[in-house]
A and B are shown apart, each in its own frame.
Chain A
Amino acid sequence: MRVALVVGLVAAVPWLQAAAQSVDPTAAEFDKFRAVLEKDNPAELFEAKGEHLWRTPGGPKKASLEKCDLGLGPGMVKGAYAQMPRYFADVDRVMDAEARIVHCMISLQGFSYAELAKAPFSNEVRTPDPVSLVAYVAGQSRGEKLAPGRSHPKELAAYNNGKAVFFYRAGSFDFSCASCHGVDNQRIRTQPLPNFTKPDQALAAVQGWPGYRMTGGVVHSLQWRLNDCFRQQRFPRPEYASETLSALMTYLTVNASGQVYKGPGIKR
């Protein structure tokens, strides 16, 4: 009896330590799979496509995006993603990477917002250009520490607004982002849900998207993921590349700041 108890305790300790990450064996198996695939993430194919789009003149104005300022000066891409969302004085608002790329496509290349916002998300046959571009820009911050803007008053306001959105309960399910992602050790079916209010788990919000989703073999952006969260909560659809989404991303990224970004993710 005593022996069994000791064994039980010893066995329980590693389990408790692991509890914060992935408890269930399905998730553990998938983590192994992901570790193997991280080296050969098909998202890189989309990064290459995005890089080509970045350098190639396009849009009604036949201009490339090489003069696009992602916060580190025109054309500076390396490390820029890890420092977004941030405040941009030219538009007087906080922008996340995709919102900034959309802004550049409008201001430099002459696209219209309506055109870009019409079908902004990927599917099995089509990857919209901003998604490939955001994959490229994100890939250029591989190995960089996350350092989103958190000094300008508008950046602080974005953090607070994002936090308010995160905890805002409404809709037919009386749901908030925090209902799923504000508590430890929750899951939906076999999928463990990270608690984004904790720094180490908030990294999962930033690390996953943009990323390659094996279901369907498509790259999705963080804009798509947050849009889907709103849908799952039965909220009205948020406006593409809007200030609200940038604010929510600011809240999530600031929670994860200081940690190393590994580049576009890979998801099941």
Chain B
Amino acid sequence: MTEPMKIRVTLQGDVADVRVLMAHPMETGQRKDAAGKIVPLHFIQTISAQLNGKTVFNADVSQAVSRNPVFAFKVKGAKTGDKVVITWTDNKGEKRTDETVVRAAGS
């Protein structure tokens, strides 16, 4: 089961500063549990971001990223009311999509 992301967007002019918190164990496949058995690899593999339905980027992510990662980027040409959609998929085929609406600066 996946848990919701936390997406925060702040608008500076026409640049949206998007910061995303993702809940994910991000297991490296190197760690051992209390019984000494290796905890299997489990990590986010791809992240994609859309602004009003248009993909602004796709990212390939490795298991070197920390647990519950923070992901931040800036998009030009954003305005109040725009929809930001973030999707991640992991190596177990799990997928999570969350969205938010760009609000006016200072609100």
**B4 on the A face (CB < 8 A):** yes
Contacting residue for B21 out of A44, A124, A125, A214, CB 8 A: A44
Are A217 and B21 in contact, with the CB atoms below 8 A? no
Interface residues of A in 115-150 (CB under 8 A from B): 124-125
Are B3 and A42 in contact, with the CB atoms below 8 A? no
Known: A37-B70, A217-B68. A44 touches B19 (CB 8 A): no
Complex formed: what's the CA distance from A37 to B68 in Å?
A: 12
Are B72 and A48 in contact, with the CB atoms below 8 A? no
Complex formed: what's the CA distance from A37 to B70 in Å?
A: 9
Per-position binary interface string of chain B over residues 34-78, scored 1 when its CB falls under 8 Å from any chain A CB and 0 otherwise: 000000000000000000000000000000001110101000000
Tell me the minimal C-beta distance from B69 to chain A in angstroms.
8
What total of chain B residues lie within 8 Å of the partner, measured CB to CB? 15
Are A45 and B21 in contact, with the CB atoms below 8 A? yes
Tell me the minimal C-beta distance from A133 to chain B in angstroms.
15
Contacting residue for B66 out of A39, A44, A125, A214, CB 8 A: A214
Residues of A within 8 A of B19 (CB): 39-40
**A49 on the B face (CB < 8 A):** yes
Are B70 and A40 in contact, with the CB atoms below 8 A? yes
Tell me the minimal C-beta distance from B2 to chain A in angstroms.
12
Q: How many A-B residue pairs have CB under 8 A?
A: 35
Complex formed: what's the CA distance from A216 to B26 in Å?
A: 11
Are B67 and A45 in contact, with the CB atoms below 8 A? no
Tell me the minimal C-beta distance from A70 to chain B in angstroms.
23
Residues of A within 8 A of B70 (CB): 37, 40, 42
Known: A45-B3, A45-B6, A48-B4. A40 touches B68 (CB 8 A): no
Tell me the minimal C-beta distance from A175 to chain B in angstroms.
29
Are B6 and A44 in contact, with the CB atoms below 8 A? yes
Residues of B within 8 A of A124 (CB): 25
Residues of A within 8 A of B67 (CB): 42, 216-217
Per-position binary interface string of chain B over residues 1-41, scored 1 when its CB falls under 8 Å from any chain A CB and 0 otherwise: 00110101000000000010111011000000000000000
Are A48 and B6 in contact, with the CB atoms below 8 A? yes
**Which single residue of chain B is at the shortest CB-CB distance from A214?**
B66
Per-position binary interface string of chain A over residues 25-63, scored 1 when its CB falls under 8 Å from any chain B CB and 0 otherwise: 000000000000101101011001100000000000000
Tell me the minimal C-beta distance from B49 to chain A in angstroms.
16
27 pairs, A vs B, C-beta closer than 8 Å: A39-B19, A40-B8, A40-B70, A40-B72, A42-B21, A42-B23, A42-B67, A42-B68, A44-B6, A44-B21, A45-B3, A45-B6, A45-B21, A45-B22, A45-B68, A48-B3, A48-B6, A49-B3, A49-B23, A124-B25, A125-B25, A212-B68, A214-B66, A216-B67, A217-B25, A217-B26, A217-B67
B interface residues, Cβ below 8 angstroms from A: 3-4, 6, 8, 19, 21-23, 25-26, 66-68, 70, 72
Besides the known contacts A40-B19, A45-B68, 14 further A-B residue pairs in the complex with CB atoms under 8 A apart? A37-B70, A40-B21, A40-B70, A42-B21, A42-B23, A42-B67, A42-B68, A42-B70, A45-B6, A45-B21, A48-B3, A48-B4, A49-B23, A217-B25
